[in-house]
Amino acid sequence: MYTELQNFLKKELSSIEEAGLYKKEREILSSQQAKIRVGDKDVLNFCANNYLGLSNNSRVIDAAKKAMDSHGFGMSSVRFICGTQDMHKQLERAISDYFGTEDTILYASCFDANGGLFEPLMGPEDAIISDALNHASIIDGVRLSKAVRYRYANGNMEDLERQLQLAQAQRFRIIATDGVFSMDGNVAPLDRIVELAEKYKAIVMVDECHSAGVVGPTGRGITELYNLRGKVEVLTGTLGKAFGGAVGGFTTGKKEIIDLLRQRSRPYLFSNSVPPAVVGASLEVFRMLSQSDEIHDKLAANIKHFIGGMKAAGFDIKPTQSAICAVMLYDARLSQQMAAALFDEGIYVTGFYYPVVPKDQARIRVQVSAGHSIEDLDKCKDAFIKVARKFGVLK
Ligand SMILES: *Cc1c(COP(=O)(O)O)cnc(C)c1O
């Protein structure tokens, strides 16, 4: 039985390889942090979403261990049968406090949070208006809903307005957008989106995965950046990036929306509870962030230092308001060759090209972390300059 499918899969795999799109995974021998061990090499890591440098923080690790001692390893259940511990409720409250929202529901990942959001909320009479560059998990979540779908060009408010006008034919409308778009590092124009939502009677959903912990004066995300705390109906986010980097996701926002998700959201109802170690560690993360803005201040200073330095050196950097710095090279091969040369210089970064980014928009993406020292950032910049001169990108 398998032979025919096997041959088909082999062909499929070789066509992926021939197109140069086969993803190879480098094995890291250390924990996730600024300096990591890859094979027999120590390199500075500039391609993790470890924005607050908490992935290997000792307070977070101790909290995970303590939670395992007090609450065990796994829950062997979903939340509504016998999988809810006191800690789950405490973490949901801590996340609501952090974002200034009414209530929060935990998921095993933000992929699940987005996957389980739209189907219970929006029926065939309703409309979802989605940014064209939204994350795959939002796209999949929208597909699972029977609502009428509209799409607007990335951050394009004229287009959003047109789509909202068309969507007046439906009963309820939800605008869905990433907070920070991960390839450029640009933020969604949330002030304009909320204005249009009011004008055209829509609610707003923002995915905070790359913005929470990063943007806004104290890092509390896109609603803090735009002075709209508590004004956006639904936010989704991950515990797998700035907030410790393990796993877990959440949806936070209006009380009735969260309540209905607890009743009807399929990834919540039919998938296991977030394990105690992750919950305990995440509680410690939100405790640390509520006690002091020091870590976020360091991230903000690091971003300023690095991007300022790269621009002064003459690099073409996409306008960014986040910890994502896209060094534009425009040529796919060059992006791969330069990333490899940077690795040889001890700098781990990734080159992206079509179809991950638009044609002729190849780039190397650098992600800055509070875990980097100024010395790390300068080493990265100096390596970029050295390699860029070699490839004729800088004179
Ligand atoms: C990473 C990411 C997700 C998925 O989060 P997980 O918790 O890893 O599943 C969803 N949306 C966006 C915008 C992301 O960047």
In the chain, what percentage of residues exceed pLDDT 70?
100
At 314-363, the pLDDT tens digits run 999 999 999 999 999 999 999 999 999 999 999 999 999 998 999 999 99
- Long-range pairs of 35-38 with CB within 8 A, sequence gap ≥ 24: 35/376, 36/348, 38/348
Hey, what are 128's tokens?
């979802």
Distance 239 CA to ligand 1 centre (A): 9
Just list the catalytic residues.
182, 210, 241
pLDDT score, position 21: 83
At 67-89, the pLDDT tens digits run 999 999 999 999 999 999 999 99
At 164-194, the pLDDT tens digits run 999 999 999 999 999 999 999 999 999 999 9
Which H or E run includes 100? none
Residues 368-382 have a mean pLDDT of 98
Ligand 1, from 95, 106, 111: best to mutate by most atoms within 8 Å of Cβ?
111
DSSP string, 33-59: SSEEEETTEEEEE-SS--TTS-TT-HH
Antiparallel, parallel or unpaired: β 347-348 and 324-328 = unpaired
pLDDT score, position 19: 85
Task: In whole angstroms, give the CA distance from residue 123 to residue 299.
Answer: 41
pLDDT score, position 152: 98
Which H or E run includes 353? none
Question: Which atom of ligand 1 is found nearest the CA of 239?
Answer: 7
Please tell me the residue having the least CA distance from ligand 1 atom 14: 209
The mean of the pLDDT values for the chain is: 97
pLDDT score, position 371: 98
Position 379 confidence tier, pLDDT thresholds 50, 70, 90: very high
Please tell me the residue having the least CA distance from ligand 1 atom 5: 110
CATH code of the domain made up of 20-49+293-390? 3.90.1150.10
What CATH architecture is 58-291? 3-Layer(aba) Sandwich (3.40)
Over 90: is that where the pLDDT of 395 sits?
no
Contact 110, 240 (CB under 8 A): yes
Task: In whole angstroms, give the CA distance from residue 2 to residue 15.
Answer: 20
pLDDT score, position 77: 98
Distance 63 CA to ligand 1 centre (A): 24
In the chain, what percentage of residues exceed pLDDT 90?
98
The full set of domain ranges for the chain reads 20-49+293-390, 58-291
Task: In whole angstroms, give the CA distance from residue 362 to residue 74.
Answer: 43
Contact 252, 99 (CB under 8 A): yes
Question: Which atom of ligand 1 is found nearest the CA of 178?
Answer: 13
At 22-38, the pLDDT tens digits run 888 999 999 999 999 99
CB-count exposure of residue 152 (10 Å: 0-12, 13-18, 19+): buried
Position 16 confidence tier, pLDDT thresholds 50, 70, 90: very high
Whether omega before 355 lies within 30 degrees of 0, making that bond cis, reads yes
Which strands form 347-348's sheet, in the order they lie side by side?
Answer: 35-38, 41-45, 347-348
Residues 113-127 have a mean pLDDT of 98
pLDDT score, position 365: 98
Report residues whose beta carbon is within 6 angstroms of any ligand 1 atom: 109-111, 114, 135, 137, 178, 182, 207, 209-210, 238, 240, 249
